[in-house]
């Protein structure tokens, strides 16, 4: 990990500024075009108009997600690097286990996530020294110990930066409204998290923020493999 200067870790833009200074062009922002991601895109493009952004097209995204992505691309005049699953792997899975095998067991769900998300993510990060995510501690029990700056041991010890780790949902919404950002219209329908269409639903007012993801599973299992626990964090 490169040497970070002392900065306010509660100031996402300061974190992003130093991250881009240290790692550009070998740093990229992961976006699924949820609320946190559009906030980060607004911040990084204000720091560097050529900041790198990528997204994973799993083949099962909502139409609203594509519409949001196009609005973002047009607003900031930025390129989105899209990564797709390997066709042969998905064809083999669906021919052998059908279209909804991920609902049969946690093992099957992780297999699907592995093919549609994890493998494309590995390709997206293979030449990177750092990546940026929109994760927040408040989102779920699996992210309660999330750090702003981490070492990602799953991807060759590159640096993983979570600038919004300390933010609340209210903080995110306040930024969106203040800066008049375009965002995924699924949020108007009760979606607090954006993922694949068959695996994401709206949540009820009294439910956890991640309750709409893989709602048939226990909360402690609700990660797709993109984010694992890292070491050497601060």
So which residues are the catalytic ones?
224
Question: In the chain, what's the furthest Cα-to-Cα distance?
Answer: 53
| Helix runs in 10-160, H state only | 12-23, 35-47, 63-76, 87-97, 106-113, 119-125
d(CA 19, CA 149): 10
State the number of CA atoms in the 13 A half-sphere of 170 facing the CB: 0
In angstroms, the CA 150 to CA 163 distance is 11
Q: 63, exposed or middle or buried, with CB in 10 Å at 0-12, 13-18, 19+?
A: exposed
Lookup: tokens for 117 = 């998300």
Task: Give strand pairing partners of 160.
Answer: 131, 150
Residue 158 DSSP SS3: strand
Helix (H, G, I), strand (E, B) or coil at 161: strand
Do residues 194 and 33 make contact, with C-beta atoms less than 8 angstroms apart?
yes
């Amino acid at each position: 990990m490169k040497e970070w200067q002392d900065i306010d870790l509660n100031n996402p833009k300061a974190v992003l500024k130093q991250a881009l200074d240290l790692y550009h062009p070998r740093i990229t922002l992961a976006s699924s075009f949820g609320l946190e991601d559009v906030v980060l895109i607004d911040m990084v493009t204000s720091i560097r108009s050529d900041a790198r952004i990528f997204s994973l097209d799993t083949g099962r995204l909502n139409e609203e997600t594509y519409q949001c992505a196009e609005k973002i691309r047009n607003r900031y005049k930025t390129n989105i690097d899209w990564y797709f699953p390997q066709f042969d792997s998905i064809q083999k899975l669906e021919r052998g286990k059908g279209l909804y095998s991920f609902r049969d067991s946690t093992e099957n769900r992780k297999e699907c996530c592995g093919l549609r998300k994890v493998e494309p993510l590995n390709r997206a990060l293979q030449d990177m020294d750092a990546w940026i995510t929109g994760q927040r501690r408040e989102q779920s029990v699996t992210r309660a110990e999330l750090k702003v700056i981490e070492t990602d041991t799953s991807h060759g010890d590159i640096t993983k930066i979570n600038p919004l780790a300390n933010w609340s949902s209210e903080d995110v919404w306040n930024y969106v409204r203040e800066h008049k950002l375009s965002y995924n219209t699924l949020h108007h329908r009760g979606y607090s998290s954006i993922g694949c269409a068959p695996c994401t639903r709206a949540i009820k007012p009294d439910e956890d923020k991640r309750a709409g993801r893989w709602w048939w599973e226990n909360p402690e299992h609700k990660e797709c493999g993109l984010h694992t626990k890292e070491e050497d964090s601060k």
